[in-house]
Chain A
Amino acid sequence: MIRFENLCKSYKTPAGRHYLFRQVNLEIPSGKSIALLGRNGAGKSTLLRLIGGMDRPDCGRIHSDKTISWPVGLSTGFQGSMSGRENVKFVARLYAKPHELAAKVGFVEEFAELGRYFDMPLKSYSSGMRSRLGFGLSMAFDFDYYLLDEITSVGDAVFRQKSAALIQQRRQHSQFIFVSHNIQQLRQFCDVALLLDSQGLRYFDDIDLGIAQYRAENHV
């Protein structure tokens, strides 16, 4: 379960304050994977960051009794001058017990299939390779919710297939919150939808209803 209580979030811009959420009250029941729908700049990534505890709301709060991953995006938390292995080790030290370290690193190394690049500095990676590392890294740990920010859309076909299989397998005990512009993928993995636009944040307990509404409003 994830519950938004009186959630507000705004940004100060040179043109005045820009409001993303005003007094949002919502509850998303347990056991549902969530698609975040909305156009670029609607605040999807901000919402993920709020859920992931990386950013704080102006008022209200987000309450959950589940463990939630960090927002897994293309660039979050990686250090460019360190190798993939060193970056993975760092996160594994944060989230795993010392004796599990080797197993976690092994999992990511095997899943990301980066070969020799795994020991090269991260700044030499393409965005596809970054996404493989980032996604694989988050999957090495057990969370109730994984927050994925367009991470699955950049990899090649082989990787997409592999990650889809892993997501399906994980969904037996974990849930996902997806930001993606790939509607097909959202329909495949998600049960419910959150639509984010100028009317605020709306919840649909059926993903197809949410997608239909999103399409109707944006004429796509």
Chain B
Amino acid sequence: MKPQLDLIRRTVLALFLREMKTRFGKYRLGYLWCLLEPLAHISILLLLFGYIMHRSIPSIPFPLFLLCGVLPFLMFNQIVSRSLNALDANQGLLSYRPVQAIDLILARTLLEGVIGTVVFVLLLLGLALTGQTIALDQLPTLCGYWILLLLFSFSLGLLFMLLGHAYPESEKLIPLLLKPLYFLSGVMFPLALVPAPYQAYLLWNPLAHALELIRHALVASYPAGHVHGSYLLLWTLGLLFFSLLLYKGRANALRRS
């Protein structure tokens, strides 16, 4: 077991460093885009809704609210949507025997996780510098939800990679299905504001739970009575188990041309 784990560790690290080089290499400002992209995203939402929402969510400062929605969601989206064609895009890498298909998703999750976390911390620091008080007494809880979200993204990414390989059409369909998820996950509105019958439907979505829980962990006064960590945990474990099982069954077929 030990040498195998070591091989996976080395492979994932090699893929991680490689992805890091290729992801922003072609852009002029390079890694700065990690920061600029979500910043632009948040700024636009802030401009659009800032005034209205500010009055309707008294429990949390609006920029902080957006930050806790946009960043985790973008992180999830990066991992999941680019997993669909992970095999096609990296076919050449699979010629090296140590590289397994699952390593591609692991490395991607790790890279997006690191980028997302660093950017989140930087933007939080930025907010703190502009006079926003940020309470960190729930830091372990926050980290827990953050890791759970990453694990959830990894599991879904793995599933999507298998789907994309078995049914190439899914590369067209799944991005379409992912688009409404942006609205259904409450990136730009708090679920507490959604009227009763509709709120229950939105609460089927584990991603909505993740975003609300992250907000609650940062701002204790933010209402989170309607969301549950255990729901997110169950979804994540179930999906992880299912994806891994499916991967085990399909591992040979993934290599067959």
Contacts and interface: CB of A to CB of B under 8 A. Distances in A.
B95 A93 contact: no
A91 interface: yes
B92 A81 contact: no
B19 to A, nearest CB: 10
A79 B92 contact: yes
B96 A91 contact: yes
A56 interface: yes
A55 B98 contact: no
B11 interface: yes
B4 interface: no
A55 B257 contact: yes
Interface residues of B, number: 23
A95 B98 contact: yes
Contacts of B95: 49, 52, 54, 70-71, 76-77
Interface string B93-122: 111111100000000000000000000000
A55 B26 contact: no
A117 interface: no
Q: Is the interface of B mostly helix, strand, loop or mixed?
A: helix
B14 interface: yes
Interface string A70-100: 1100011111011000100111011100000
A81 to B, nearest CB: 6
A52 B97 contact: yes
Nearest to B11: A94
B22 interface: yes
Contacts of B25: 81-82
B51 to A, nearest CB: 44
A56 B255 contact: yes
Contacts, number: 61
A106 interface: no
B96 A70 contact: yes
A120 B257 CA distance: 32
A81 B17 CA distance: 14
Contacts of A200: none
Contacts of B252: 56
A53 interface: yes
Contacts of B256: 55-56, 58
Interface string B221-257: 0000000000000000000000000000000110111
A180 B118 CA distance: 50
A77 B92 CA distance: 4
Residue among B93, B96, B257 with the highest chain A CB neighbour number at 10 A? B96
Contacts of B41: none
A193 B256 CA distance: 26
A121 B43 CA distance: 36
B111 to A, nearest CB: 14
Contacts of B13: 93
A84 to B, nearest CB: 13
Given A70-B97, A82-B21, A90 B92 contact: no
A197 B253 CA distance: 26
Contact of B18 (A54, A68, A75, A79): A79
28 contacts: A11-B257, A52-B95, A54-B94, A54-B97, A55-B256, A56-B256, A58-B256, A68-B97, A70-B96, A71-B95, A76-B92, A77-B92, A77-B95, A78-B92, A79-B18, A79-B22, A79-B92, A81-B25, A86-B18, A89-B17, A90-B14, A90-B18, A93-B10, A93-B17, A94-B10, A94-B14, A94-B99, A95-B98
Given A55-B257, A76-B95, A94-B98, 10 more contacts: A52-B97, A54-B94, A54-B95, A54-B97, A71-B95, A81-B25, A82-B21, A90-B18, A91-B96, A94-B14
Question: What 8 pairs across the A-B complex have the smallest Cβ distances?
Answer: A93-B14, A56-B256, A77-B92, A56-B255, A54-B95, A77-B95, A76-B95, A70-B95
Interface of B: 10-11, 13-14, 17-18, 21-22, 25-26, 92-99, 252-253, 255-257
